[in-house]
């Protein structure tokens, strides 16, 4: 089998529209069973009560998880002002209530504005962040509060879409590692009345949008009809934001065994940003027939080889 034929292997990214009540693990387990035990993973956990885009990685798709989790994410959230909960969302116990009569729309817009850009955010106790090897949520369930360090995150956009009484609908575009429920709680604190996240929908992960997403039931139906392959995003398309280094077939064969690519063996660059050339960043390695062979990284500012990080085709093809 040649490299061109190997591109037809059913591996890729399935964009799921997760419904409330499902854990991310539930979705993975369901799709894994549906596909007969094929390897399935996900890129970016959603809490059970949250809905929206959950990228599932199928087969060799699991090899590209580290690149997908770097993507920015977009959410639509409803912040309920005047109620603080122990989980910072609607699933927790209410710790305090405050009147919101004095909170004006202008104050809400001003408070939200303080959280745009690069900010420090404290991971919530009810999270999977580990301190001393123990997930914070385990300590929280035991009634303990653990000292933890704030993390730098980036809120690329934060818009107020609607204000209905004490409920504020937010649109947020943010970097990885952002907790939207913590953002909601922090805005409530900034307004002096407290608050929690009433609901959350993830509308986009990188280039993957909710308009492309399928519910689990829709996946089951399409699989039964033999049409699920049409909905699977290839690894190459999923990694479409990465530039391409094209190499000849002999070099591609060596790449499959992890050999680095000398600069002299790169036939051409596609989708290249000259201003970024030489930075240590991932790039796609293509054979001349357009097949994605591997992901590599540039090792030097100029003239250095591409070091292979992930081989995405079998060595014996």
CA dist 90 and 18 (Å) reads 18
Are the C-beta atoms of residues 210 and 52 closer than 8 Å to each other?
Answer: yes
How many residues can be counted in the chain? 317
126: phi then psi, degrees, rounded to nearest 5: -85, 75
Please give the positions annotated as active site.
47
3: phi then psi, degrees, rounded to nearest 5: -65, -35
The single residue listed with the structure tokens 């890129």 is: 43
Are the C-beta atoms of residues 73 and 176 closer than 8 Å to each other?
Answer: yes
Give, to the nearest 10 degrees, the angle between helix 105-113 and helix 180-190: 120
CA dihedral 213, 216, 220, 222 (to 10 degrees): -10
Which among 293, 295, 298, 300 is positioned nearest to 310, based on CA atoms?
Answer: 295
CA dihedral 29, 7, 64, 50 (to 10 degrees): -40
């Amino acid at each position: 089998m040649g490299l061109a034929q190997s591109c037809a292997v059913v591996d890729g990214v399935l964009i799921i529209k997760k419904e409330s009540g499902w854990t991310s693990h539930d979705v993975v387990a369901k799709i894994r069973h549906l596909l007969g035990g094929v390897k399935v993973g996900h890129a970016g956990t959603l809490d059970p009560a949250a809905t929206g885009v959950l990228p599932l990685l199928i087969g060799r798709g699991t090899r590209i998880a580290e690149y997908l989790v770097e993507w920015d994410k977009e959410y639509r959230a409803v912040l309920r002002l005047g109620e603080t909960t122990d989980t910072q969302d609607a699933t927790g116990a209410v710790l305090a209530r405050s009147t919101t009569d004095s909170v004006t729309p202008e104050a809400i817009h001003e408070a939200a504005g303080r959280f745009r850009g690069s900010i420090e955010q404290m991971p919530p106790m009810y999270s999977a962040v580990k301190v001393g090897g123990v997930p914070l949520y385990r300590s929280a369930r035991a009634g303990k509060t653990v000292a933890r360090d704030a993390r730098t995150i980036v809120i690329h956009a934060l818009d107020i879409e609607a204000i209905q009484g004490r409920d504020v609908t937010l649109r947020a575009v943010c970097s990885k590692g952002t907790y939207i429920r913590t953002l909601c709680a922090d805005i409530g604190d900034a307004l002096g009345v407290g608050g929690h996240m009433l609901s959350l929908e993830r509308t986009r992960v990188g280039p993957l949008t909710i308009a492309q997403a399928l519910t689990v039931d829709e996946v089951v139906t399409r699989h039964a009809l033999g049409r699920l392959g049409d909905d699977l995003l290839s690894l190459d398309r999923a990694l479409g934001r990465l530039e391409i280094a094209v190499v000849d077939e002999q070099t591609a064969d060596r790449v499959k065994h992890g050999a680095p690519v000398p600069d002299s063996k790169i036939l051409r660059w596609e989708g290249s940003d000259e201003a970024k050339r030489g930075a240590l960043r991932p790039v796609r390695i293509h054979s001349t027939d357009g097949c994605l062979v591997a992901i590599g990284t540039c090792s030097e500012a100029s003239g250095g080889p591409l070091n292979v990080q992930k081989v995405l085709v079998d060595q014996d093809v």
